Structure 1
Amino acid sequence: MNETSTEIRSVVVEREIAHPPEKIWRALTRPHLIEEWLMKNDFSPVVGHRFNLRGDWGGVLDCEVLVVDPNTTLSYTWNFTHDDPAFDLRSVVTFTLEPTHSGTRLRMEQSGFRPDQKRAFGGAKVGWQNFFEKLEQVLPQAD
């Protein structure tokens, strides 16, 4: 078996955002704000909390909170089950916030893409860029 066939891939997006970590944290953890930039949800920032993200495209992601370190790290599973197992996705999304002189460096990593999930991987690369654009638009109201 070729070792590269078992390689797990990650999508990483990093941005310098001109807002303090506390404000970005609110946008990452408050359900009404998450809905504005990501998806409809029943999120709660409590380790072990199971929640769903519901996309406009009709899909539902099953998630569980893994790490909550306020204003620093948020991590949760991001799982999608499909009738066709080739489209099943078992991944983890981790947000890391680092204060900077001008605001915050926000890093998102979604890990867990199998090599045969090129479409999902490509979709995530584009999707997270779009989510970050929306997140930046939501931040002014994240008080």
Structure 2
Amino acid sequence: MTFTEMSRIDRSIEISATPERVWRALTTREELAAWFQVAIEGEIAAGSEVWMTTTNPAYSGMRFQVKFVELVPPSRFVWEWHPGAVDPKVDYAKEHRTTVTFTLEPKPGGTRLNVSETGFDAISLPRRASAFKDNTQGWAEVLVWLQKYAEEAN
């Protein structure tokens, strides 16, 4: 795969729950924390920045910052973050963030959720391949967590 091809990740999943139900799972602090397996310090609102700390045993204690950019209920949710594990050698004030866009589409029997993460091409070369690989795998796994959570809570 070339560095040009490592500029974005696109994933989709069908969820047997209404767009409103999926929206609540994405944008309600307690619900996002439950399925995304994080503790959230701060509120989910356009323009706010929060710290998240993973509670998943495989990544327990990893902290990362998320800036919520756009919330258009119940169809579009956008955040920016620094992908990958926090590295104490990286100056995150100078490191480019990627943009994660969730788009919800009503479908018979539920919702089609599309997730795009863009901006990898602006990440420093030493981190780009690792961050892209980790998030490519990560989104495939995390969307199943969301699907299961939203369908069980439906």
- Normalised TM-score (structure 1): 0.83
Q: Is the 8 A contact 2:103 2:115 kept in 1?
A: yes
- Partner of 1:85, secondary structure, is coil
Q: Is the 8 A contact 2:15 2:151 kept in 1?
A: no
Identify unmatched segments of 5+ residues in structure 1: none
1:49-128 mapped onto 2 (5 Å cutoff)? 49-56=48-55, 57=59, 58-79=61-82, 81-85=86-90, 90-114=97-121, 116=125, 117-128=128-139
The 1:86–1:47 alpha-carbon spacing in structure 2 relative to 1, beyond 3 Å, is: closer
- Which residue of 2 is the match for residue 48 of structure 1? 47
- Partner of 1:106, secondary structure, is strand
Q: After TM superposition, give the deviation of residue 15 of structure 1 in Å.
A: 1.0
User: What percentage of aligned pairs have identical amino acids?
Assistant: 26
The 1:21–1:98 alpha-carbon spacing in structure 2 relative to 1, beyond 3 Å, is: same
Q: After TM superposition, give the deviation of residue 141 of structure 1 in Å.
A: 5.2
Higher mean Cα deviation, 86-95 or 37-46?
86-95
Higher mean Cα deviation, 77-86 or 98-107?
77-86
Higher mean Cα deviation, 69-78 or 113-122?
113-122
How many equivalent pairs are there?
Answer: 140
Higher mean Cα deviation, 85-94 or 10-19?
85-94
- Normalised TM-score (structure 2): 0.78
What is the RMSD computed on CA atoms of the aligned residues? 2.6
- Write the letter of the residue equivalent to 1:71: P
- 1 CA distance for matches of 2:6 and 2:131? 13
